[in-house]
C-alpha cells in the first residue's frame, strides 16, 4: 500500500481563488481526518469522516471551508474564497478503527495564499 496520498504537495494561489485539496486514504481504513498545521496553533482537527459520513466538523474554521468524501477512496477539502490566513500545511490521515492504533498521515499539502 502506498499509504495516505495527498495532492498537490504545494499550492500557491491568489486571495479569493478557490482551492481544492485531495486525499486518498489507505484502503480498508474506515476513518479519514483533515488537520491543519500552523506555527501558532500546531495541529488542529478540522473534520473527520467515518465510512464516508462526516462525524464532527466543529473544527472547520468558517463557511469558506467544506469537505466531502464521495467514496471510501477519496476526500476533498475545499476553501472558497481563500484568504492569506489560510496559509498552512494541511494533513490528511486515515485509520482502521478510530484512534486505537493511531493514524497514518499523508505527506501534507503546503498551501500559500498570496
Partner 1 sequence: AQRVTQPEKLLSVFKGAPVELKCNYSYSGSPELFWYVQYSRQRLQLLLRHISRESIKGFTADLNKGETSFHLKKPFAQEEDSAMYYCALGNQAGTALIFGKGTTLSVSS
Q: Where on the chain is the footprint of partner 1 (CB under 8 A)?
A: 31, 33, 35, 41-45, 48, 50, 55-56, 91, 93, 98-103, 105-108
Q: Which residue lies nearer to partner 1 by CB, 55 or 114?
A: 55
- What's the min distance (Å) between Cβ of 13 and partner 1? 23
| Min separation Cβ 76 and partner 1, Å | 19
* Smallest gap from residue 12 Cβ to partner 1 (A): 19
Does residue 9 come out as left (phi exceeding 0), alpha (psi in the -120 to 50 range) or beta?
Answer: alpha
Cis, peptide link before residue 8, omega less than 30° from 0? yes
- Please count the other Cβ atoms lying within 10 Å of the Cβ belonging to residue 46: 20
15 CB contacts (<8 Å, ≥6 apart)?
81, 82, 83, 84, 113, 114
Nearest approach in angstroms of CB 34 to partner 1 is 11
Question: Toward partner 1, which CB reaches closer, 23 or 82?
Answer: 23
Residues forming a β-bridge with 76 = 22, 68
Residue number with CB closer to partner 1 (82 or 93): 93
Tell me the three cell numbers of residue 97: 478503527
Amino acid at each position: 500500500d502506498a499509504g495516505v496520498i495527498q495532492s498537490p504537495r504545494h499550492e500557491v494561489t491568489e486571495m479569493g481563488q478557490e482551492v481544492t485539496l485531495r486525499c486518498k486514504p489507505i484502503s480498508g481504513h474506515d476513518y479519514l481526518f483533515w488537520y491543519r498545521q500552523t506555527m501558532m496553533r500546531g495541529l488542529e482537527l478540522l473534520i473527520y469522516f467515518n465510512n464516508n459520513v462526516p462525524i464532527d466538523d466543529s473544527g472547520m474554521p468558517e463557511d469558506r471551508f467544506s469537505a466531502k468524501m464521495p467514496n471510501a477512496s477519496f476526500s476533498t477539502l475545499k476553501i472558497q474564497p481563500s484568504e492569506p490566513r489560510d496559509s498552512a500545511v494541511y494533513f490528511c490521515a486515515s485509520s482502521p478503527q478510530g484512534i486505537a492504533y493511531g493514524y497514518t498521515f499523508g505527506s501534507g499539502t503546503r498551501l500559500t495564499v498570496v
